Amino acid sequence: MEIMDSAAPTHVAHRDNHTHRDVNGGWLRPAVFGAMDGLVSNLALMTGVAGGSVAPGTIVLTGLAGLAAGAFSMAAGEYTSVASQRELVQAELDVERAELRAHPKDELDELAALYVSRGVEPELARQVAEQLSRDPEQALEIHAREELGIDPSDLPSPAVAAISSFGSFALGAILPVLPYLLGATALWPAVLLALVGLFACGAVVARVTARSWWFSGLRQLALGGAAAGVTYILGTLFGTAIG
């Protein structure tokens, strides 16, 4: 009878196929969606103004103003949101740290009971909880993960979130402005470049979803195109009414 070696290396087929998508999105998701937001909002803003039959210079100024306003707004909002979330997490960690110092036995019992509820034998659960609780910082990390669902060593940075949001939004928002900055006087080059950018962003998003790249690309192109079309019609109507 052949005895399996527990130290044997993982089978090649299993190792090669046992990979998963980045379900949290990592940096890719917020960066791509920030660029999409900049693209759609600035394209819609510029087409709405263009619908009012204004001069190209006015459209360029509108696009640049939309880029600056949107990027700073995104950065400020993201900074405040992440900073507030981080402060809340730190406050909860302080509570947990105080509990570990004041009631170490109760916290150990709590951790052991948690492992028991997940199917570990009571005696083994107790041993695991005792071993993990020897190091106060490790105990804090384990309790934070199990009770709060957070990793104390991997908290997001408000500054990084703000800078990345600013950059990704500005990158998307500059696309519809770019043809005008390069000498275009008509709206269609800006719309065409923006739609290509929307398709590209949608295709990249497929990396963190189960959809095909062409489906995601076409979906984003359709949504962005619809937004631009509606705002152009509204701009035309409002321009006529005001004029």
Mean pLDDT split into 10-residue runs, the chain, 243 residues: 50 54 54 88 94 92 96 93 92 90 91 90 92 87 84 86 92 96 94 94 79 89 92 86 62
pLDDT of the residue at 22: 47
Question: What 3-state class would DSSP assign to 23?
Answer: coil
Query: What gap in Å lies between CA 237 and CA 52, rounded to an integer?
Result: 8
The tokens of 50 are what? 């263009």
190 within 8 A of 42, measured Cβ to Cβ: no
| pTM value surpassing 0.85 | no
Helical spans, DSSP H, in the chain: 12-17, 28-50, 56-102, 104-117, 122-132, 136-143, 158-181, 188-205, 213-242
Q: Which residues contact 139 (CB under 8 A, 6 or more apart)?
A: 100, 107, 111, 132, 133
